[in-house]
């Protein structure tokens, strides 16, 4: 017999709002909100600047929440799509040699 945990609706809503800023950052970096470990490694080598740690933390947070279940595997062949507005707004330095 499996144990099931039910989360109240207000708790689900709180978790979504709590992680909203991380999801918004990921939305500006990922195409179709798909992520895998290689994507995080690629973006870590591409992005330079003071906001690098915050961006990587956001990607790891989203990855952990998306693939929390051990049976779920992250997809292969992910495309990174960094918004130019995002790059300009936060003054990111992109290392194009890593592409």
Please state the domain extents for the chain: 9-98
Q: List 94's β-bridge partners, or say none.
A: 47
For 21-43, the pLDDT digits (tens) are: 999 988 888 888 888 888 888 88
In tens, the pLDDT along 38-82 reads 888 888 888 887 888 989 999 999 998 888 766 677 778 777 778
Distance CA 27, CA 35 (A): 11
Which phi and psi angles does 41 have, rounded to 5°?
-65, -40
Task: Give yes or no for a contact between 38 and 78, defined as CB atoms under 8 angstroms apart.
Answer: yes
Read off the pTM. 0.72
Counting every residue written for the chain, the total comes to: 99
Report how far apart, in Å, the C-alpha atoms of 64 and of each of 50, 61, 98 are.
23, 5, 24
């Amino acid at each position: 017999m499996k144990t099931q945990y039910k989360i109240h609706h207000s708790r689900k809503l709180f978790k979504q709002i709590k992680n909203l800023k991380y999801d918004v950052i990921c939305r500006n970096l990922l195409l179709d909100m798909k992520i895998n470990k290689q994507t995080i490694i690629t973006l870590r080598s591409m992005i330079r600047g003071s906001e690098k740690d915050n961006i990587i933390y956001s990607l790891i947070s989203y990855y952990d929440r998306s693939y929390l279940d051990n049976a779920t595997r992250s997809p292969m062949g992910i495309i990174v799509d960094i918004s130019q507005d995002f790059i300009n707004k936060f003054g990111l330095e992109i290392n194009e040699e890593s592409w």
